[in-house]
Structure 1
């Protein structure tokens, strides 16, 4: 078999630089100096604001002062007086509650019901001293100080007895200068303390904003009869009212509520 002629190899091409040889890059485009521009704009805005404020004050200073309006302008009277003949009639003594409460406080006490007798615990003149009132609290010294700070004015009290044991007592505790805060705070404090003793929130008194009545658990002690007690607390204006009923028989919510509502009606 004939061998093919050897193929003549072409002359090798001249050697060139490798492709990775460094080639100068084109000049990069110039970036906008946004940060500096924004800073310059911000500085200009601040200078403009300060300059404008200064110019404004300068202009205002050069102006003549504006005269103030007269203070004694009759048209500014408030409240506006009603035309002649349209003024409301003054309250009568029966309608003006202030007349009632500034008078003899004992006259606002609920009268002793028919079929009852004066209780042996009743004060002869219908007044109770602050010391006597404070003595009924667990801490008389604290109660005395607290009532003095609240500007207690006077206390009217009455009590009566029905049958052999049932005793009802009412106290009107009034504070000075028509201050309803003392009466309200005292009522709220007694309601809170009695709610803990009764282990319930009591029942609302009809016609009262926040008054409550409570029937306490029976008090049992060996060698003594069982003692039942019911209480009511509410306030009206600068007067705080307490109602107590004590008996050896059960006292219903209706019974204590009836007395409280009648006393509230007198105020």
Structure 2
């Protein structure tokens, strides 16, 4: 006799078997759905016509080459600033003017100024040495002479290895020195032919025994060279004459 199924929830063993079988079925169904979707999408893309790829760059200009007998233009050495400045720096020094007497005690007679020689001529030599090394100092050329009116002129050309930034910073240092010395930076006349070059006239030095209490300094820079022209005199400095000397020296750089 066929028995009726028992009423109530199935036994625990039956429920456990159902969970074991149901989990994999759902997983396989999900996987088949993903694969079917990918296959349909690939089929749609494959049936479409290929779109043309846009060009990477536009039309390039035509390349033209010079004729074999055409030589490139090259500046003559006297007009090429880099060639002139990389040569003998002493050739850029202003020559001793007519009537002047060269004063070689400052630079030893060869117109080169070594680092110890230069530091011996400045007051705060420790700070100057630190600044020179920090700015990649390369070399210094110098020339001095005494003019008929007893004015001592001292020209120095400092050349730096990293070019204009270092040479230009020395102008900023000049302004700071001028302020400490009681001069009026920015009020003194500019050197003709230069962008930032100026002539600074300092107050009279009242120290006893000073045979040249009046002084002035013309400073400018061009390229990798910082130029300083100092004037020392027993009487007030002739500004017009000092400016002309500085202009002539700046024009040689």
TM-score calculated relative to the size of structure 1: 0.66
Structure 2, gaps ≥5 residues long: 1-40
Match of 2:213 among 227, 239, 249: 227
Match of 1:243 among 212, 220, 229: 229
Alignment deviations for residues 190-234 of structure 1 (CA, whole Å, 9 cap, x no partner)? 133225421342211111011110111111234555611010100
- Does the CA contact (< 8 Å) of 2:175 and 2:185 recur in 1? no
Match of 2:130 among 145, 152, 155: 145
2: CA distance, partners of 1:230 / 1:261:
14
Match of 1:168 in 2: 153
Match of 1:191 in 2: 175
CA RMSD of aligned residues (A): 3.2
Tell me, what secondary structure is at the counterpart of 1:262? helix
Alignment deviations for residues 222-265 of structure 1 (CA, whole Å, 9 cap, x no partner)? 45556110101000100000000101011122121111100011
Match of 1:254 in 2: 240
- Does the CA contact (< 8 Å) of 2:145 and 2:153 recur in 1? yes
Structure 1 residues 75 and 142, CA gap change in structure 2 (3 angstroms): same
Structure 1, gaps ≥5 residues long: 1-57
Structure 1 residues 140 and 88, CA gap change in structure 2 (3 angstroms): same
TM-score calculated relative to the size of structure 2: 0.70
- Does the CA contact (< 8 Å) of 1:123 and 1:157 recur in 2? no
2: CA distance, partners of 1:94 / 1:192:
35
**Count of matched residue pairs:** 203
Match of 2:91 among 82, 107, 123: 107
2: CA distance, partners of 1:171 / 1:74:
56
2: CA distance, partners of 1:251 / 1:200:
17
1: CA distance, partners of 2:127 / 2:180:
19
Match of 1:90 among 74, 81, 99: 74
